[in-house]
Amino acid sequence: MKAKVAVIGPEDTVIRIQQLKKDSSPYELLPFTYTESSETPALLEQSLLCNIFLFTESIAYLYVKEIVEKRRLSIVVVDCDEYNLTTSLLQLCLNEQPYTRFSLDGVTKDVVQRAQIPLNSTGVELLPIYEEEVAEKKIESILNHHRNYWASGRTEYALTAYKEIARQLEAENIAVWHMDQPDSCYKLALEKLEKRIAFHTRASTQIVMGYFRFKHVEQMPDSLKAMILYRRLSELELLLQAFASKQDAIVLRSVQDGVVIIGSRKLLDYLSKHYTKFPLIRKINEHIQEPVGIGFGLGFTSLQAHQHAMMALEMTAEEQESSCYIINESQVKLGPLGVKKPINTSFLYQALIHKAKLNNELSYNFIEFITLRNNKPFSSSDVADYYRVTKRSAERTINKLLSAEIIKIAGTERPYQRGRPRKLFALL
């Protein structure tokens, strides 16, 4: 099975990456394109089940850096190097009217230092904004960097690694040069991909464990429960045996009146491809007239996969119909599978910023939280667990969302321990 690589970037750069990929490469490229880099968080949500994430622009990575680090995702970023920078400078310096003062973005300190060495005797002055200095409003902070130096007369040209910056500066009549990445930078990124995939292949094989359990066993008549359950479990086991044979997986009867399926890469590939349309659950519903809860757990050990699968299975208890959830190795909860609830992320983002007065980070995190749960009702404890904050802090965020009429009270749930029922909330 080939590794799945999410390629996130403007359409033209994604196409260039696809054209440079070798047919024999041990991975499959899945395109996720944007017009503006601020769309990256939403694209990352759509590509969560990919193995590696390739960002064709470093600005896109900056928008999701905290999410990537929190989930420990494997990434490769196409960076602007000193050869690209010096080539661009050479073209401008050899102009009929040579320029020597430049504002600069999309570079690291190391790149500027290496490029500066051969420029020391030329009188060229570089005024960069480094990636670590880019503020919360990513694009706006970069634009302001160029605008301020241009307005003060400190620079004669703006050098940018990003087309959307170049378009905006041109519209403002600021002299700008877009440093287009050469093919060599993209080829280097693809080489990094192959090394990363080879490392992951040698280092670990992910285990996938799925637990299947009928939902309404306790409602069956006691006198018939054993017979009915035995028959339905036999039917389920037979159906899963046929499914497992195609996924290089094995099926076992659970001691908890259920069935277990255990696999690795091929089964994970199936889950990745059929996340929004989950034909297995539809097939179970067609052949067995009894709702079933399905919990898949991913892990690098069998114990980890088992624990995550049991946690995912518990999440199915709230639905009356058949349902399925996944908890991956980073304990990110995905689901329900096979049921895609539409969420207007652009509209929601605007509401969170302007109505609830949340900052960018909280807004993106809430959109991610809602999307991952597939708009399933949530409690303040769910928000606290996801954000890794206190319940009091989560409640403050929820109160802001309620006051802004972004969410509503959707009911209550019974507590896991003794206590009052917890309020559930959902998007309006």
pLDDT score of 340:
65
Assigned token pair, 237: 């086991």
CA atoms within 13 A on the CB side of 84: 23
pLDDT score of 14:
94
Assigned token pair, 263: 């696999």
pLDDT score of 421:
61
pLDDT score of 176:
94
Q: Rounded CA gap, 288 and 241, in Å?
A: 15
Assigned token pair, 95: 């102009």
Q: Rounded CA gap, 185 and 181, in Å?
A: 6
pLDDT score of 201:
60
Tell me how crowded residue 247 is: count the other CB atoms within 10 A of its CB: 20
CA R_g for the chain: 26
pLDDT score of 423:
82
CA atoms within 13 A on the CB side of 427: 19
pLDDT score of 418:
43
Tell me how crowded residue 309 is: count the other CB atoms within 10 A of its CB: 27
CA dihedral over 205, 206, 207, 210, signed as positive or negative: negative
**203: Cβ–Cβ under 8 A, 6 or more apart, which residues?**
none
Tens digits of pLDDT across the chain (428 residues) = 678 899 999 999 999 999 999 888 888 899 999 999 999 998 998 887 788 999 999 999 999 988 888 877 889 999 888 888 888 888 787 766 778 889 999 988 888 888 877 666 677 889 999 877 887 778 999 999 999 999 999 999 999 999 999 999 999 999 999 998 889 889 999 998 888 887 666 545 689 999 999 987 766 677 667 777 888 888 999 999 999 999 999 999 876 678 999 998 889 888 877 776 788 988 998 888 888 999 999 988 888 999 999 999 999 988 888 999 998 876 777 778 877 677 788 888 888 998 988 888 888 888 888 887 767 778 888 888 888 788 888 899 999 999 999 998 876 654 434 455 678 888 88
